[in-house]
């Protein structure tokens, strides 16, 4: 027993440390704003989720203004009707699938309305010029026929 070495016994054992991998950063996904509880009221009968419609509206209107519930519902229904009209127009394609050409054809009338609104002033000026030109032509025609008939010239009031 003299050869035996006495090893001290430690009643508290050391925890074994395992090498750890560096923490991996998860890419952050953009988080959509959480909709108000009132925005998620009964969506039954509406074509789109109310919260999504409200978030799109608030992005343009601003957070300082309240949007009444009847406006939210009406916008949702109107957008559903517009989607039905566009889909019906796109279904008139002669091909087996609906493509971008069909989409562009269906949305063109709505894009044209936007263009017409932008060109309102130019269109009004053009129509006024046409009106002046038409008045001038009427005066010339009246003068011509009065002269042809040997009558006194009648002044046109336009």
Could you tell me the residue ranges of all domains in the chain?
Answer: 33-96, 109-158
CB atoms within 10 A of CB 132: 11
pTM of the model: 0.51
Average pLDDT, the chain: 80
Say what the pLDDT of residue 18 is: 54
pLDDT digits (tens, 9 = 90+) for 101-124: 999 999 999 889 888 888 888 989
Query: What is the spatial distance between Cα 51 and Cα 33, in angstroms, rounded to a whole number?
Result: 10
pLDDT of residue 34: 45
Concatenated DSSP letters of the chain: --SSPP----SSPPPPPPP-PPPPPPPPPPPPPPPPGGGGS--TT-SS-HHHHHHHHHHHH-TTS---HHHHHHHHHHHHHHHHHHHHHHTT-SSSS--HHHHHHHHHHHHHHHHHHHTHHHHHHHHHHHHHHHHHHHHHHHHHHHHHHTPPPPPP--
On the question of pLDDT at 85 being above 70, the answer is yes
From residue 66, alpha-carbon distances to 24, 63, 118, 124, 137 in Å are: 42, 7, 29, 37, 56
pLDDT at position 95 over 60:
yes
pLDDT tens digits along 7-49:
555 555 555 555 555 554 544 544 444 444 444 556 678 999 9
Percent of the chain with pLDDT over 90: 47
Q: Which pLDDT value is given to residue 31? A: 46
Smallest CA-to-CA distance from 89 within 68, 109, 61 is with: 109
């Amino acid at each position: 027993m003299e050869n035996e070495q006495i090893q001290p016994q430690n009643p508290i054992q050391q925890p074994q440390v395992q090498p750890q991998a560096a923490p991996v950063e998860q890419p952050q996904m953009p988080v959509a704003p959480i909709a108000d509880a009132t925005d998620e009221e009964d969506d039954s009968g509406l074509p789109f989720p109310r919260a999504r419609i409200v978030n799109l509206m608030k992005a343009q209107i601003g957070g300082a203004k309240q949007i009444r519930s009847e406006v939210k519902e009406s916008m949702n229904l109107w957008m559903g009707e517009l989607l039905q009209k566009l889909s019906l127009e796109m279904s008139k394609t002669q091909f087996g699938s609906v493509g971008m050409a069909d989409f562009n054809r269906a949305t063109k009338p709505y894009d044209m309305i936007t263009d017409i609104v932008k060109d309102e002033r130019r269109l009004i000026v053009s129509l006024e010029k046409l009106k002046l030109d038409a008045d001038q032509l009427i005066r010339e025609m009246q003068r011509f026929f009065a002269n042809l008939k040997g009558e006194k010239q009648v002044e046109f009031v336009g």
